[in-house]
Amino acid sequence: MRVATTAAGGVARDGTGRLGDEDPVTGASRSARRYARAIFELALQDGEVDQWSRRLVKIRELFADPQVAAVLSNPTIATEHREALVATAPHLIDEEATNLARLLIESGRIDEVQDVDDEFQRLADEAAGRVRATVTTAIELEAADRDRVTRELSKRLDKDVRLSLVVDPRILGGMKLQYGDRIVDASVATRLEQLRRRLAAS
Confidence of residue 27 (pLDDT cuts 50, 70, 90): low
> Does 20 have pLDDT greater than 80?
no
> Does 10 have pLDDT greater than 80?
no
Q: Of residues 10 and 86, which shows the higher confidence score?
A: 86
Element at 174 (helix H, strand E): strand 174-179
Rounded mean pLDDT of 165-177? 92
> Does 15 have pLDDT greater than 50?
no
The answer to whether the beta carbons of residues 75 and 155 sit under 8 Å apart is: no
Residue 147's pLDDT is what? Answer: 93
Q: Which residues, including other chains, have CB under 8 Å from residue 137's CB and lie 6 or more apart?
A: 165, 166, 167, 168, 171, 174, 175
Alpha helical stretches, state H, the chain = 2-8, 30-46, 49-64, 66-72, 79-87, 95-106, 113-128, 143-157, 188-201
Residue 33's pLDDT is what? Answer: 92
From residue 30, alpha-carbon distances to 17, 123, 182 in Å are: 12, 15, 22
Q: What is the per-residue pLDDT across 127-162, written as a single tens digit (0 to 9) for each?
A: 998 988 999 999 998 999 999 999 999 998 898 999
> How far is 92 from 144, CA to CA, in rounded Å?
37
> How far is 80 from 142, CA to CA, in rounded Å?
51
> What single DSSP character describes residue 175?
E
CATH numbers and ranges of domains, the chain: 2-126 (1.10.520.20), 129-201 (no CATH)
Confidence of residue 86 (pLDDT cuts 50, 70, 90): confident
> Does 7 have pLDDT greater than 70?
no
SS3 (DSSP) at 77? coil
> Does 14 have pLDDT greater than 50?
no
> Does 18 have pLDDT greater than 60?
no
The answer to whether the beta carbons of residues 116 and 63 sit under 8 Å apart is: no
Q: What is the per-residue pLDDT across 62-83, written as a single tens digit (0 to 9) for each?
A: 889 888 888 888 888 888 888 8
Q: Which residues, including other chains, have CB under 8 Å from residue 168's CB and lie 6 or more apart?
A: 136, 137, 138
Q: What is the per-residue pLDDT across 35-51, written as a single tens digit (0 to 9) for each?
A: 999 999 999 999 999 99
Q: How many residues does the chain have?
A: 202
